[in-house]
Every structure is written in structure tokens, then in C-alpha cells.
């Protein structure tokens, strides 16, 4: 679980309210998950930069401010001797921009195990054991940890846990979820779209293609839509699938998924799948999701 430094607890936002910051500086121990955190910020729409030279922090902050986007960057032990300058530069930056300093940490044994599993050398070099390198790193990072706004211990967090925690704390409450949903129709005779995450077969519905007046039309046409909707199984299917998707989507979001493709297939991809995709699109948008509707085989 995450925890706030006691001396900063009164200044931190409540856990259930997103933190507001133009610039988030990610720092902490090697192996604590800084790159995972940076990727999570990138998925939230931040400009994300790894290992930016400390002297360029003010310039980075100005560029993100001018572009009206938030920024996230990693500053850590790789800076070497320049790391001593960080506290002063961060205080200056904080006076000019709304900034948050996020410190990631983990227990030494957990960090040692992570280095062993990935077979990566510690940034301070391979001349010493990993545990000794971690000890020296803690000493050098102590002044930075002392001024951190938010402290997260990742010892017991999975990658997904850390991403979800950052999303909960830094998601802009003015924006809807970053998950983009593609609702697609297709024809099985042309193959299942390979990028589909979820596939539903709607060939159980009566086929308008066998009715001469509908053959040259598509599922977008009001007459075809009325015909497909006239069968009780149509409404039942739309209701059940909508409820299933609205149940599943928050779980995909918590797992860090940014894109989800839901495909509905019929025989040719002209009538039933087009109508169903359009109806599901409406239901998901009504529930507040960002949805893009595509019809792969509509004009084949």
C-alpha cells in the first residue's frame, strides 16, 4: 500500500481525490518501479521523460506549461554529482509551477531480488554487491526523500497495482477515462479482425440479407434497423451485452488497458453486426466511455 510521509500528510490530497500538478518529478530507489510509474503518467496524458538532466527541469516545465499539458519526469541516482543540486532546483520549480515530488521505494531485500530476477546491474556499478550499492544510494537520496510530497512503498505492489494507484491519485477529474473503446462490425466470411479483444457472434439473429428489399441496404438504414429490432432476442442481446461490458470495463481500466476493441460479426458484415455495433456504441457512450465505431466490411 502507499503511504504518505508523516510530515507531509497534512499537505497531501486525500487518497480518494486526484492530486493536481503541472509537473510530477518521479524519484526513488533503483528497482522501485520508476519506469512503470512514468508509463502510467504517460497513459494519463502527461509528457513523460526519463533521466532528464536536472539543469533542464525548469525548461521542461516551461515547455509543458506552454503546451497546456502536464509533465512527468524521472530524476534519480543516474544524475551522479548533479543530484546534490536537485533540492534547490525543485524548490525553485515549485515556486513557479504546481509541482509534486513522488518518491518510490521498496524494502532492500525486495530490491535485491528484483535486480537478481532481471539480471540488471545497479546504476552505481558492479564493483560492490547490490545491497551495498542500495545502501549508498539511500544515503545519497536521503535529502530528496526528506522533501517528497508523496511516498509509495512498492514492496507488495504488482505492476498493475502501481499503475492503478497512480491513476487514482493523478487522474484529472475533469477528464473521462482514458480507455478508448473501438466497437467494430465485421463479416465472418472475411475473417475475424486480428486486433479484437472481445468477439461476439450475432449470426443467431434473423438475416435481413434474405429479404430482397433489404439486400442492398445496411444495418444503418432505418428499415433494416426496425426489422432487426422487431425480434425479442435482439433487445435481450443488446441489454445483456451492454450490462456485461459496463461491468467489465472498469476492471480493464484498473489493469491499465488503454485500448479495447469489441467486434460483432455476422455473415457478410453488412446488416446485423452493423446494427448491433451501432446500438452498443450508443449504450457505452451514454455510460460515459470514449467510443469509436468502425465497420470493416460494410462496403465489401
Indicate the SS3 state at residue 41: helix
Q: Which pLDDT does position 172 carry in this prediction?
A: 63
Backbone angles phi, psi at 295, to 5 degrees: -135, 95
Q: CB within 8 A of 263, min separation 6: which ones?
A: 184, 185, 186, 192, 193, 196, 198, 199, 200
Q: What does the alpha-carbon distance between residue 216 and residue 238 come to, in Å, rounded to a whole number? A: 24
What secondary structure letter does DSSP report for 166?
H
Q: Which pLDDT does position 154 carry in this prediction?
A: 92
Percent of the chain that is helix, strand, coil (3-state, to 5): 45, 15, 35
Indicate the SS3 state at residue 119: coil
Length of the chain counted residue by residue: 300
Indicate the SS3 state at residue 263: strand
Q: Which pLDDT does position 11 carry in this prediction?
A: 35
Burial 137-151 (b: 16+ CB within 10 A, else e): beebbeebbebbbbb
The per-residue pLDDT for range 105-155, each reduced to its tens digit, is: 999 999 999 988 877 888 887 678 888 999 999 999 999 999 998 999 999
Q: What does the alpha-carbon distance between residue 144 and residue 84 come to, in Å, rounded to a whole number? A: 9
Q: Which pLDDT does position 285 carry in this prediction?
A: 93
Structural domains of the chain, with CATH: 2-170 (3.40.50.300), 180-295 (no CATH)
- What percentage of the chain reaches a pLDDT higher than 70? 90
Q: What does the alpha-carbon distance between residue 144 and residue 34 come to, in Å, rounded to a whole number? A: 15
Contact 170, 24 (CB under 8 A): yes
Per-residue pLDDT of the chain (300 residues; tens, 9 = 90+): 333 333 333 333 334 445 556 889 999 999 999 999 999 999 888 999 998 899 898 889 888 888 888 899 999 999 988 899 999 999 888 887 778 899 999 999 999 999 888 778 888 876 788 889 999 999 999 999 999 989 999 998 888 888 888 887 887 644 445 688 999 999 999 999 988 999 999 999 999 999 999 999 999 999 999 999 999 999 999 999 999 999 999 888 877 777 899 999 999 999 999 999 999 999 999 998 989 999 999 988
Q: What does the alpha-carbon distance between residue 130 and residue 123 come to, in Å, rounded to a whole number? A: 10
Answer whether 0.85 is exceeded by the pTM: no
Q: What does the alpha-carbon distance between residue 182 and residue 32 come to, in Å, rounded to a whole number? A: 34
Q: Which pLDDT does position 119 carry in this prediction?
A: 78
Q: CB within 8 A of 3, min separation 6: which ones?
A: 151, 152, 153
Q: Is the dihedral of CA 202, 203, 207, 210 positive or negative?
A: positive
CA dihedral 144→145→151→155, nearest 10 degrees, is 120
Amino acid at each position: 500500500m502507499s503511504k504518505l510521509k508523516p510530515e507531509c500528510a497534512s499537505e497531501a490530497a486525500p487518497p480518494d481525490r486526484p492530486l493536481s500538478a503541472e509537473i510530477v518529478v518521479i524519484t526513488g530507489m533503483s528497482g522501485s518501479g520508476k519506469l512503470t510509474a512514468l508509463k502510467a503518467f504517460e497513459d494519463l496524458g502527461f509528457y513523460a521523460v526519463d533521466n532528464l538532466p536536472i539543469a533542464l527541469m525548469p525548461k521542461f516545465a516551461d515547455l509543458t506549461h506552454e503546451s497546456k499539458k502536464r509533465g512527468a519526469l524521472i530524476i534519480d541516482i543516474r544524475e551522479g554529482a548533479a543530484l546534490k543540486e536537485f533540492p534547490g532546483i525543485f524548490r525553485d520549480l515549485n515556486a513557479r509551477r504546481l509541482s509534486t515530488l513522488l518518491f518510490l521505494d521498496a524494502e532492500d531485500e525486495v530490491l535485491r531480488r528484483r535486480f537478481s530476477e532481471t539480471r540488471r546491474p545497479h546504476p552505481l556499478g558492479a564493483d560492490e554487491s547490490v545491497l551495498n550499492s542500495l545502501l549508498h544510494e539511500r544515503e545519497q537520496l536521503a535529502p530528496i526523500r526528506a522533501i517528497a510530497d508523496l511516498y509509495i512503498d512498492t514492496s507488495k505492489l504488482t505492476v498493475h497495482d502501481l499503475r492503478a494507484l497512480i491513476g487514482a491519485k493523478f487522474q484529472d477529474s475533469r477528464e473521462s477515462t482514458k480507455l478508448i473503446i473501438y466497437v467494430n462490425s465485421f463479416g465472418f466470411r472475411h475473417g475475424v479482425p486480428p486486433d479484437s479483444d472481445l468477439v461476439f457472434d450475432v449470426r443467431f439473429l434473423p438475416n435481413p440479407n434474405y429479404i430482397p428489399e433489404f439486400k442492398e441496404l445496411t444495418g444503418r438504414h432505418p428499415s433494416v434497423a426496425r426489422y432487426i429490432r422487431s425480434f425479442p432476442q435482439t433487445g435481450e442481446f443488446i441489454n445483456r451485452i451492454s450490462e456485461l461490458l459496463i461491468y467489465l470495463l472498469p476492471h480493464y481500466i484498473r489493469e491499465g488497458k488503454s485500448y479495447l476493441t469489441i467486434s460483432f460479426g455476422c455473415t457478410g458484415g453488412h446488416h446485423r453486426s452493423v446494427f448491433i455495433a451501432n446500438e452498443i456504441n450508443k449504450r457505452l457512450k451514454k455510460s460515459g466511455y470514449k467510443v469509436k465505431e468502425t465497420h470493416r466490411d460494410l462496403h465489401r
